[in-house]
Amino acid sequence: MKYFSIFFLTLLSISTLADLRPYDFDILISSDRNRYNRNEVIQLNITFTSMARHTNGILLPGTKNKGKRLLYLAYYSVDGNDFYTNMHTENRVITMDTSNFGQVHWKNLYAGKSVTIPIFLNDTINYRTNNAAHHKLPNLPAGKYQVFAWYAPWEEPMAEQAFAKLNPFGRPHDDFTSKRFYMQENQQSNYFLLTISDDLVKHEWSPTRDCPLNCHFCEAIEKSDWNSLERLILKQTDYNNKLGMNFTDTNWLQPHRNIAWIYEGPDAILASLPTYTYRSIIFKTQAGYFYYAATWQLGIIYTGRSRIQQLFRWATRLNAPIRSSEVDYKELVKFAPY
């Protein structure tokens, strides 16, 4: 009877393991380096990678400025016996300025692809106005800490459109028939080793082909010369015909010493003309971090030509030999802080 019980339990455990399903998406926390002075701004990058075979949306913090955090950090110390002690966990309650409307962002996560967003610790200037900066480095002694991020989207109204909940045993109520991403109450990232130092930590940018020492782009950012910066961007991005498309440049999208982050554009845009697209950008200078949004008009309808064409068609029932619109058209129409 004893051996039969052992045999039965072994079969049951194998059956249980066979029912377990890998996560539909993985969360990775990383940074350019591991050692920071406790007073400097620390940039951590959070990467969501689809492990599923289908495309679905996920929720990102976006401009959310009230309620509870989607992403929050936990800090652990580790002793010589690999015993982890929780030193601090961020409060999930958001305490930001709510004078502007804020909301989470929906982002399509394609099968096998990734999307990355930054968060910033110690950016006190933007702490109450920008979600990415709404994080503080806790007052911990200098030393090494293992840090991970919790992802908890279930309080959001769109959560049930993006995710299907697993019970504590890793099972859903629908037997995995949904095309949503399956996740439990919270999902955890990897551990990231963060060393907090009381000493000055030197970190110098190595010049590159896209960002040399005399980079005009970074020079304009460092001087907070936003008008010059806008002109540099439109010079690389704007065009008004198919030939002009061949002379655009992506230098501004490459890594630059004074650009902390450039967000991806929208997943889709309207097909009718004109339509618009945008990119959010975070610039960094000696004076601090600046959050800007750039908006481009795609396509154009020439009002005067369109009117002439209408009159010509009304008078002759023929189309006038002029173009009243241009599909191959892109113009930077707004560049402003947000």
Between 311 and 144, the higher pLDDT residue? 144
Confirm whether 224 is domain-assigned: yes
What is the Cα–Cα distance from 65 to 235, expressed in whole angstroms? 34
pLDDT for the residue 17: 43
Summarize the confidence of residues 269-285 as an average pLDDT.
91
What is the Cα–Cα distance from 153 to 142, expressed in whole angstroms? 32
Interval 204-260: pLDDT, tens = 889 999 999 999 999 999 999 999 999 999 999 999 999 999 999 999 999 999 999
Summarize the confidence of residues 27-36 as an average pLDDT.
97
Q: Provide the token pair at 305.
A: 């030509």
Q: Does residue 309 carry a pLDDT above 80?
A: no
pLDDT for the residue 8: 46
Are 171 and 230 contained in the same domain?
A: no
pLDDT for the residue 216: 96
Query: Around Cβ 102, how many Cβ atoms within 10 Å?
Result: 19
Confirm whether 206 is domain-assigned: no
Are 156 and 252 contained in the same domain?
A: no
Q: What is the mean pLDDT of the chain?
A: 90
Are 223 and 163 contained in the same domain?
A: no
Confirm whether 61 is domain-assigned: yes
Interval 98-157: pLDDT, tens = 999 999 999 999 999 999 999 999 999 999 999 999 999 999 999 999 999 999 999 999
Q: What domain count does the chain have? A: 2
Q: Does residue 83 carry a pLDDT above 50?
A: yes
> Could you list the residue range(s) of the whole structural domain that residue 36 is in?
21-197
Asked which of 134, 166, 197 is the last residue of a domain, the reply is 197
CATH code of the domain containing 33:
2.60.40.2360
Summarize the confidence of residues 55-82 as an average pLDDT.
96
Are 179 and 282 contained in the same domain?
A: no
pLDDT for the residue 31: 98
Are 240 and 185 contained in the same domain?
A: no
Residues whose CB is less than 8 angstroms from the CB of residue 233 and which lie 6 or more positions away in sequence, other chains included: 252, 294, 332, 335
Are 315 and 178 contained in the same domain?
A: no
pLDDT confidence bin for 16, thresholds 50/70/90: very low
pLDDT for the residue 320: 65
pLDDT for the residue 15: 44
pLDDT for the residue 268: 80
Are 40 and 168 contained in the same domain?
A: yes
Interval 182-212: pLDDT, tens = 999 999 999 999 999 999 998 888 999 999 9
Q: Does residue 313 carry a pLDDT above 80?
A: no
Confirm whether 8 is domain-assigned: no
Confirm whether 7 is domain-assigned: no
C-alpha distances out from residue 251 to 21, 119, 120, 209, 332, Å: 42, 24, 25, 10, 16
- What's the angle, vertex CA 290, arms to CA 289 and CA 294, rounded to 5? 145
Give me the percent of the chain exceeding a pLDDT of 70. Answer: 91
Confirm whether 11 is domain-assigned: no
pLDDT confidence bin for 264, thresholds 50/70/90: very high
Confirm whether 6 is domain-assigned: no
Q: DSSP of 38-105, one letter per residue?
A: TTS-EEEEEEEEE-SSS-EEEEE-TT--SSB-SEEEEEEEE-TT--EEEEEE---B-----SS----E
Q: Does residue 4 carry a pLDDT above 60?
A: no
